Amino acid sequence: MRFQFTVERCIWCCEAASVPSFLRARILGVLASLLFPRTGPIELQNTHEFLSLVQALVTTLLRTQEDQDVAVIRDIILQLRSGKCGSIAGFLAAAEIDGSPIMLVGVNESKVREALVAEAVVRCFDHESLAMKQRILRELLQVSFS
C-alpha cells in the first residue's frame, strides 16, 4: 500500500530517531513539524496509515532511552489517540465493507482512535522478543492511564 508523502516522511523520521544519535532531538522536531503543520492537521487517508504511523512511533519509543525524547514520542502517541493530531474524518466518511459504502451512524471517533492505537501496539508484538513485549505492555499501560 502506498502512503501519502507526509506519512512516509513521518515513518522515516521514526526509523531515523530509533537509532541512538545526537541528532535524535532534531529528527523528533522535524517529526513534530510534519505532524502538526501550521496549515492544520494532516489528513490520514486510511486506517493503514494511522496504524503504521502509531506502530512506527511505538517502535521508536521502545528503542529510546532518553527521558526527554521518550516524553516527546509518548506525547505524540497520546495526541494521535486523543484526536489532537491527524484527521481521520476522511476515512471514517469513506468507510466501506466489501466495496460498498456504509454509514457510520453513532460512531465515536475517540473510540475508533483508541482501538486503532491499541491495534498498532498489538501489531508490535508480532516481531519482538519477550523482553520487548513486556516493555510494550508497560508502555501501553502508561499511555492508557495518562
The pLDDT of residue 72 is 95
Q: What count of residues does the chain have?
A: 146
The conformational region for residue 83 under phi > 0 = left, psi -120 to 50 = alpha, else beta, is: left
Total structural domains within the chain: 1
The pLDDT-based confidence of 46 (bands split at 50, 70, 90) is: confident
Q: Nearest Cα to 7, choosing from 79, 58, 57, 68?
A: 57
Residue pLDDT, tens place only, 88-112: 887 777 776 777 767 666 778 888 8
Whether the model clears a pTM of 0.75, i.e. scores above it, the answer is: yes
Model confidence pLDDT, tens digit, residues 117-128: 989 988 888 877
Name the residue range of residue 95's domain. Answer: 5-144
Q: In this predicted structure, what is the pLDDT of residue 118?
A: 87
